[in-house]
Amino acid sequence: MKRIGVMMVLATAVLVGSPALAAHKRPSVSCKQIKDAIAAGKSEEDVQKDLKVSAARVKSCTAPAPAKRGKKSAKKT
């Protein structure tokens, strides 16, 4: 009998807690969406407002990728 009561409490906690946790979860915006909006002619500020992303997120998606540094080949003479 005690086990059923504990299970009921746990089930209730899961059902009540789920919507509360989902409310804090924001849909993520991909870099592709940000780049597409900028390519369509929107300014960075407009993209931030429309897609509800931070300036840092827009900047990280639009900054050029750093050049890859390869291994220096050692020449032996």
Q: What is the mean pLDDT of the chain?
A: 78
- Planar angle of CA 22, 25, 30, nearest 5 degrees: 140
Average pLDDT score over residue span 40-51? 95
Beta strands in 1-77 (DSSP E): none
Whole-prediction pTM value? 0.53
pLDDT digits (tens, 9 = 90+) for 1-32: 566 666 666 666 555 555 555 555 566 899 99
Q: Which residue has the higher pLDDT, 39 or 18?
A: 39
* Residue 22, helix vs strand vs coil: helix
Give the span between the Cα atoms of 51 and 35, in whole angstroms: 12
